Each structure stands twice: as C-alpha cells, then as structure tokens.
Structure 1
Amino acid sequence: MKKKRVLMTNLYLQKYTGSELHTIEIARQFKKKGYEVTIVVYSKTYPLLEECEDFDVLECQNDKLTVFDYDIVYIQHFPVFDYLCCHYDIQYKYLIISKLSSFNDIEALPACYDKADLISVVSLECAKTVKPFSNRIFLFNNSVESTYFECFKENKERKLKRIAIISNHIPNELYKLRSVMNDIDFDLIGSGNSVKLVNLSLLQSYDLIITIGRTVQQCFASGVPVFVYDYFGGPGYINKENIVKAREYNFSGRGFLKMDCLCIKKSIMSGYDDNLNNLKYLHDYAKEHFSLDDTFNLMLTQVLSKKNDWKQLSDYTELEKIRNSVYTNVFNNSKYLDSSFCQESQLYFDDGSGFSENKSFKWNICAGYPIHKSFEFKSSVAIRFDPSHQPCKCRILSFLVDGIDHKQDVQPKNSVICENDKELFLNYDPQYNLRIKVMQTLAITYIYEPLDQKDYENIERILKENKSRRFLNRFKKNC
C-alpha cells in the first residue's frame, strides 16, 4: 500500500514562536492520520528541533528533497514555496495554504493561491485580507491539544500570588507593573527574558497569565486565569461581553485600548474573582471552538471530500523560475536568518587518538534559548564542547555523563571573563574541555548568546582593571 505523504513549509523551525509551534501541532495531527511528514524551512535549529523527532525537517538551501510526490502540500510562508517551485518538480493532489497574520509580509499569499483547495486563516481579521482573492476560506483559530482540556480544574478559591507575563514583546507598562504590585511574584517569559517552552505544567504553576495569542486558548482549556494584554493593548479579562470581539482579532489585543500600569493593576485586582467564576464558561467555549483535534479533522475532511488528480505545484514560466531562483538563493542574507542569531555547536570525543572532525557531532542552535542535546557513544577519554564558531557568551546549565552532572568539572579553555555564570569568549573557537570516560550517554543543556556592545564594554573594563592590578603587584614586588 502506498504511503500517504504531506509536505509542509514554514520560514524556519528555530524557537518558540506562533508559526513554528503551529507547524509542529499540524504536523503531529497529520502523523496521527498516518501521513509521513516532511517540513521544509530556510533554517532549522535547536531548541525546536527537539520537538520534531517524528518528522523529516529539511533546510531548503542545505538539504535535498528526495521525494517529489505528495498527497497534500501545506504551505505556510511563501518564500519557501517559491524556493521549492524553482528547484523541484513537485506533484500533489491537494493544496492547503495557511495564513497566520493579516499584516506580516512573509504571510502574504503564494502565487498558487487560486489553485488551493482551502486557505486556512487564524482569525476573522485575517479572513478579511483573503476574501478579495478567494472564497475557499477555512477558519482555523489557534487551537488546543486534548491534554489541556483533560486537565481542566475549576478552582474558585485560588489566590493571586504568582503571575507570569508571557510575551516576546513585553511593553513598558507591563514591565512597570512589577513595581506597583511588589507583593506578587512575577516571572517574565519570552525573548529577552527567561525563554521556556510554554506547556501545560508551566501554565498551571501560576495564578494568572498575562499574554496574547495562542497561550490564551491554552489557559481557557486548562482553567488557568488569563489577562489578555500586550504591546497592542488588550481587553484584560475575557468574559461573555468581549469574547466575540477578542476572538475576531485572535486574542492579540488589537481592537482594544492601551492602559498604563496603574490601570492594569486595578483591572487585574478588581476582576480576579469574577474571572475565577468565568473559568468553566471559558473552558466550555474553548472546547466548542478551539479543539485542535476537532478543527483539524473538519479541515482535512473538507479538503479530501473531492477526488483530485495529480497536479504540478507551480505554473511559473521558465523566466519567472530563474528570477525566483536567484531571489531564494540569496535569501539567507535576510534579517530573518541573522548569522549571529543562528549558529552551530559541535561536540568532539577523544577515544584515545585525539580530537578530530570525524569523531564529532554538529547541530544548529538558536540564541537565547536553553538547548538540550543528548548523545550515545562509548570509550571516550575526553570531551571538547564548542558552543559556537564565533565570539559568544555561554552558560552551561548541566553536563550529564551517564546520568551524573559534571557541570562543575567542565573547564572553559579560552574564555576572557565569567560574568553572571556565563563564560564570555572573544575568539572564533570558543570551547570547553572535560577529561572523563563516557560509558553510555552524554547530555548537555546550555544557553548560547552572541556578544553585544555591553559585553564588549564589560570585557574592556575588566581587562583594564586586571592590567592595572598586575602592574601594581609588580610595582609592590619591586619595592
């Protein structure tokens, strides 16, 4: 029996952003339906690759597509579609286009939009941008996996002690909120703060989540109080009166006013008990409208309801293919794939004959995110770990050898200074060394970041201080 295949695209699979997590959720749904899943991107890195063990993930400029016929092609982010069309002759039966934003340029419809069996949109706001071009629109709101609904607990006696602000773009008024609510424990989660994968256990460890987007529906489903506010503003607590409008804008905060930190505090404190009484209503609403299983099944049934023949993915002319091929080949110089943000880590193991390239592992990484990487090998006498191939700062969180943490034994070889538990490296060959025998497994957890201007200023200051100290010591010795 011929295997069912689906080809998916996204600009990248690197970090914990909406389009990337949505891609993985849809890929899991296809997998549950018996499809082999291939995801093509411009850049793939850890930490998100850790969530992709069940799929083939290819970087279009570095990896080769070896299969050219797919039952379903699922396009998200048109630049990857353009690359595929201009480098491969791909055949398909059904075409789904996914559009997750009404304003982001990379979310523009691809050239094949009129061939799509269905265009999936994340909100009614987004649907309005598609209506001038197609009426084959399917509303696929940010949806929630079944485990969130199964773990719902209604707790009307909950006390407001711990708040998490979850955002990759926290506005100033939310930063200031901590100073006017200093009796509350605050955690800031997202780019520029503590970067974590938002999941069920994390959400349930807080008494209130301040956020927008897909995390809102996850809170509804699991019974976690949520206050909808971010850099667009927001409605605050969701209730029967504002849920329709908030949903139309994908719980993004758009369509509502901005507030200062004192207004936000007052709204949080005065409305908390009412929100606890609304948790069951919000859970039931989410179950009806935001079930990932139900929404995906409905979309797939609608797509497969007609019998299609095999078709060519692109009808570009040869001249258009040549132009697009040039564009896509230089795309890796764009701001989306900045080389300081995406780097390569490498681990060498010495089995007694020294370090060499053929006794090493390489993997792509994303800056600022905890990276978890595991290995299985035997008979090493030493380990060398290079967090990147450029000047950087690195924090080792754990270094497990056969289940025992040797973090304290790992020695930076050529770092300049250590600040806030991070080693700062000025050269293009940063490395750590550990002399130890690995019997079975090695697992590393670390955070890589490029050096910024403040780091260079701190390094210069400390080096000057050390130079002055050495001079004084020599002077005292001579005296």
Structure 2
Amino acid sequence: MENKVNNEFLNQKSILITVAYLDGFHGSVIHVKEWGTYFVSKGFNVTIATIMWTPEIYNMITRYGVKVRSVFEDWNEKFDIVIAYHFPTIGLLLKKGVDCTKMVLGSLSSFEYLESFPLFFELASCLVCVSEESKLFHHLSGIPLEQMIVIENSIPDEYFNFTIKKKHELPEKIAIVSNHIPEELRDIKRERKFDTIDFIGMGGDIYTEITPALLSGYDVVISIGKTVQYAMGLGIPVFEYDYFGGCGYLSLENFYREKETNYSGRTTRRKISTYEIVTEILNGYANALHETDKIRQIAKDIFSLSKKLDFLLLKLHNTKDFSKNDLLNLNSNVTIEFDHNECFCKWTGHLKQENFSLKRNYPLYYNRFSCIEVFYDTGKGFSEGEKDVFSEFPITIYSRDNLRALRVDPSCNYCSVRIRSIKAEGEEIPFSTNANFIDREEYFFNTNDPQIYIDVRPNAEKYEFDMEVLQLNAEFAGKLSHTQCTLKETQRELSG
C-alpha cells in the first residue's frame, strides 16, 4: 500500500480542507488539524479554509506547516483534492472560484444540521461519514449507501508509540474530558473516592489540546468520541460516559457495539447516578486494566490515522473526478444553495468576529468562566472556611447541617449579571443583591465583591443557580454607574 500511496503523492500535491470554525479544542477542529498535519508529513501542501479562527487555534495548526485562510478571500485556485466539512463553506468556495480534481464531502455527525451533505453530493468523488450511525442517518435523506464510506475518529500514530507508566492497582487519578460535563460527572468530586479528578475541556480545570503526554498520567479516562480512541491508543482504561449517558468501561465485549455510534454513549443512552458511576469505576477497574493491551492492539489495527488516510488516498485514485461544469448544470436548487451558503458564512462569520472583537478590544467583555464562590452560613456568618468555588454556571449545591443562609458571589470583578434561574428543589426562590442598579433584569455591580443573597428553604437539599456574567473593568463600570446616576437625576428633575 505504501508504494502505491507514495506514487499518488508524486502526482497530487495540494489539498484544501474546509471547516466552519477554528475556535476551540473541539471535535471538528482537532479532526481537520490531525488530517492536515498527516498530509503535510507526507509531502502535501495543505490549506484549511474557514469562516474564522482564534489566534490560539491558528498557531496550533500552522506550527505543523498547515496554512489557514479565510473562506472570504478571493480564491480562483484548483486543488488536487478538496476535503469539505460543514457544507456552507464549500458552497461559498466553489462560488469564489475554487476547483479540484477530486472532491471529498465529509460528515462528522448524525444529527448536526451543519454536517449535512450539500445538494450536489452525487458529483463528489467520495462521501465520508464518521460512523455507521452517521451513514445510516444520511441514507434516510436519500443518499445511496454505496456512495458513502466510513472513516471513524482515528488515532495519530504518536499515541501507539507513546510509553506510559504502569498504572496503579486501584484507580487514583481520573480525567473527565468533556466540553459539556453532566451533573452526575461533576459530582464525582463530592464522593472523595479518588486522589485526583481533573475536568479537561470547556469550563473545566484544564482547557488545552489533548495529547498523549496529558492523558498518560491518569488511571482512568472518562469521555466520549475522539478521546475514547485516544485512551485506547495509550492503553488506558476508558469509561464511556457523558451527556448522552454511556456504557461505562469499554471492554472486549462491547467494543464493536459502541463503535457503531462512534463511542458517543448513544448506543445505550444509559444514565446513572454519581454513586453508580463511582462504584462502577472502582469495581470494574481491574478487568478494564487487564483488557487494555488487547484493546490497544485492536485500535491500532482499525483506527490508525495513517492507515485510514492512506486508504482514502488509494480509494480516491479509483473514483471519478469532480466536474465543476456538471455542477453548474445540475439544477437551479444548487444556485439557491450557494446563495444560502454565502449568507450563512457572512452572517455567522460577522457574529463570531464581533464576539472576539469585544473580548480583545473593549473593556466590556463576555466571560462565562469567572471565579464563582458560594458561601454557607451555618450559624457563624459567611466565611472563607465554608465556601465552594466553581468555574462556570449553571451550578448545583447541596444543603449543609444548620444552614441558615446562602450567598453567591458570581465574580471576583466588576460585572453585570443576568439571572436565568435561582431554584431550591426545582422551584424559583427569592433573592437580593448588592448591585448598584438594575436595568431590564440585568444587575450591575460597581464593586469587585458582587454578592447575591439566597433565601434558604426549610428541608430543601438541592439548590441550582444559572446566571450569565458579563465582566467589566473598573473604568467602564465607573462610567456606567456615573451615567446611571446622571440619568436618575435627570429623571427626577423632569418629574419635579
């Protein structure tokens, strides 16, 4: 296979990959980064076209020799291969003059609308789905099964080549990798059964690119999707569970069944309690650890990124070429779709850029991951000795013995707060604040010690708080407060 692939490299040297956003360490971003990096290592000139990017992700990708460009540039270029994800991007690029010899259309989901195939799917050289579940979903939309192939989330070879230390006899260090951590996983820390529990992902303790070195220090990895395969590649016991639920420990018995739905938890959709999760992690660890070597070998055979992409290149050698002339003659619906794609890219691009512009250039910026403190008064007043610290809303806390009062400090800075809900046992409850003023249900705090006082309910065990926090710097907060005071004085004069 290697010689045939190398021959292809001699004749095909340019690849364009499209993706909607390069804005964080999430699935589609890491997917195109890994594919682009591998193709560069094999001698291709690789470009990723996207609506927008953040500097951090731009640097992560370009340091491997992959170029990043905006879909809004003038293109008028022909590539040997185009691999297109998120259908509006390729529609806009074709309208802007992109052409290619081989066209690969890809889908990374069975339910996200952005992962649909474009109307001209029948002209593609190849259609690639991330799982059998995704393939069947697209078949229900009228796409013939024989036009689609499955290339699952793959494991870069560095994972198989990485040597990890011998694991503990009992699980001591746990990594929970998720960008959408469910409550039953968050509460594992409350059980105090493990020495270390790190939440990795958006809103967690660590937010960075997943690497072999990062995961290698843990005894168990709890996650779904790509990270499940990463753990397999390292030979680490992996517990499949997230917001869809999941099967628990991956085993030789359930390996192929879970593979059908991309190790997403959707095969069983089994939801269990925190106590049950902890119990399964402890009781099943010995067997999971025993099976890791066999699972690692199977994963190397079927999920190796180099094998998967070499297979794709060979397949493309025997598929039809993409014809832009055929595309233009297809039907009027394609023209309508192209117009829709351009509007979509411009609108979402503008929205994202405005958001990042606010963060970079203005003293007012949005921040969901501020330092949130919850204080408990159990008869001695509020003190640093009785508090919990959180990184993001929504949060859930539980009552303590002799609890008399609760206080939530939504930030350690000047801020405005929009309160979505404050509940005890699922019911809204009263509260008060030290906000300087309120404007259309938004509370403005001209202090670096904002406080929200919660009415404690008798016999209530569970409290839930959900708020949107907008950070302000001191100068801006002062100007805002001054403007509000001036407005009130003017209103008083007019009413007098």
Please give the TM-score of this superposition, normalised by the length of structure 2. Answer: 0.68
Task: Mark the CA change 1:425 to 1:38 in structure 2 (over 3 Å): closer, same or farther.
Answer: farther
Query: Cα offset for 1:73?
Result: 1.2
Q: Name 2:258's counterpart in structure 1.
A: 246
1:149 corresponds, among 160, 163, 169, to 160
1:43 corresponds, among 52, 64, 75, to 52
Alignment of structure 1 residues 69-108 onto 2, 5 Å: 69-85=78-94, 87-108=95-116
Task: Mark the CA change 1:121 to 1:463 in structure 2 (over 3 Å): closer, same or farther.
Answer: closer
Q: Name 1:274's counterpart in structure 2.
A: 287
Task: Mark the CA change 1:3 to 1:243 in structure 2 (over 3 Å): closer, same or farther.
Answer: closer
* Aligned equivalents of 2:340, 2:173: Cα separation in 1: 48
Consecutive unaligned residues in structure 2, runs of 5 or more: 1-9, 370-408, 417-438, 452-473, 479-496
8 Å CA contact 1:393, 1:422 repeated in 2: no
Q: For 2:309, give the aligned amino acid.
A: F
8 Å CA contact 2:412, 2:450 repeated in 1: no
State the Cα deviation string for residues 121-171 of structure 1 (Å, max 9, x = none): 111111112334131222211111111001144736444221111101111
Q: Name 2:306's counterpart in structure 1.
A: 293
Task: Mark the CA change 1:282 to 1:318 in structure 2 (over 3 Å): closer, same or farther.
Answer: closer
Query: Would you say 1:389 and 2:362 are equivalent positions?
Result: yes
* Aligned equivalents of 1:58, 1:174: Cα separation in 2: 38
Q: Name 1:111's counterpart in structure 2.
A: 119
8 Å CA contact 2:174, 2:197 repeated in 1: yes
* Aligned equivalents of 1:458, 1:240: Cα separation in 2: 55
Task: Mark the CA change 1:216 to 1:309 in structure 2 (over 3 Å): closer, same or farther.
Answer: closer
* Aligned equivalents of 2:182, 2:349: Cα separation in 1: 22
Query: Would you say 1:169 and 2:180 are equivalent positions?
Result: yes
Q: Name 1:12's counterpart in structure 2.
A: 21
Query: Cα offset for 1:68?
Result: 1.6
* Aligned equivalents of 1:321, 1:328: Cα separation in 2: 10
* Aligned equivalents of 2:25, 2:344: Cα separation in 1: 22
Consecutive unaligned residues in structure 1, runs of 5 or more: 346-366, 368-386, 396-418, 427-452, 468-479
8 Å CA contact 1:58, 1:64 repeated in 2: no
Query: Would you say 1:218 and 2:230 are equivalent positions?
Result: yes
8 Å CA contact 2:171, 2:194 repeated in 1: no
1:31 corresponds, among 37, 40, 57, to 40
* Aligned equivalents of 1:36, 1:284: Cα separation in 2: 32
SS of aligned partner of 1:39: strand
Task: Mark the CA change 1:2 to 1:271 in structure 2 (over 3 Å): closer, same or farther.
Answer: closer
Paired residue total? 375
Task: Mark the CA change 1:240 to 1:266 in structure 2 (over 3 Å): closer, same or farther.
Answer: same
Give the share of equivalent positions with the same residue, in percent.
26
8 Å CA contact 2:170, 2:286 repeated in 1: no
Task: Mark the CA change 1:288 to 1:14 in structure 2 (over 3 Å): closer, same or farther.
Answer: same
Query: Would you say 1:265 and 2:278 are equivalent positions?
Result: yes
Task: Mark the CA change 1:110 to 1:457 in structure 2 (over 3 Å): closer, same or farther.
Answer: same
8 Å CA contact 2:170, 2:285 repeated in 1: no
SS of aligned partner of 2:446: helix
* Aligned equivalents of 2:292, 2:55: Cα separation in 1: 35
SS of aligned partner of 1:217: helix
Query: Cα offset for 1:315?
Result: 2.4
Q: Name 1:343's counterpart in structure 2.
A: 356
2:210 corresponds, among 198, 207, 220, to 198
State the Cα deviation string for residues 388-425 of structure 1 (Å, max 9, x = none): 33512799xxxxxxxxxxxxxxxxxxxxxxx9998769
Q: Name 1:460's counterpart in structure 2.
A: 446
Query: Cα offset for 1:233?
Result: 0.6
Q: For 2:362, give the aligned amino acid.
A: H
Q: For 1:129, give the aligned amino acid.
A: F
